[in-house]
Amino acid sequence: MLPDLLSNRELAEVHPDFQDGIREHRLIDAFTNRHPVFLRSAGRIGGEMRRFRGILVDIFYDHFLYVRWLQFCTQPLEEFVSTFHASTALLRPLLPEVAVVRLRQMEAGG
């Protein structure tokens, strides 16, 4: 989650225990962003929004995952989210303040 919350400069300063996960997240993003289905979806967005197409497709796909969550996971989404926030609370002492602020905003629904 940290690579979606922090800039590259901020990520470089994250506690070493998180660096392997950051690298893995980047590899997954690189794979999905080169996938033919993702590229086809991104290719449908042009004009003024063209420069945001990767972000928009990612958000669209997140929405589709939300709508069909139970097709992919047996744990209800609300329970998954609660577990996620509980686990991040334990790690907050190791996180940069900007990540903590953003996680709190997410938890508050903002």
With pLDDT > 70 as the criterion, what percentage of the chain qualifies?
Answer: 99
Total number of domains in the chain: 2
Domain extent, residue 78, equals 73-110
Q: Is residue 2 part of a domain?
A: no
Q: Is residue 21 part of a domain?
A: yes
Match 């996680």 to its residue by tokens: 103
- Residues 62, 110: one domain? no
Span 71-107, pLDDT tens digits = 999 999 999 999 999 998 889 899 989 999 999 999 8
Q: Is residue 1 part of a domain?
A: no
Q: Which of 67, 94, 71, 66 shows the shortest CA–CA distance to 81?
A: 66
Give the number of other Cβ atoms within 10 Å of residue 44's Cβ.
Answer: 9
Q: Is residue 79 part of a domain?
A: yes
- Residue 110 confidence (pLDDT) above 80: no
Residue 74 has a pLDDT of: 96
- Residues 27, 60: one domain? yes
In terms of pLDDT, which residue wins out, 13 or 31? 31
Whether 22 contacts 1, CB under 8 Å: no
Residue 46 has a pLDDT of: 95
Q: Is residue 31 part of a domain?
A: yes
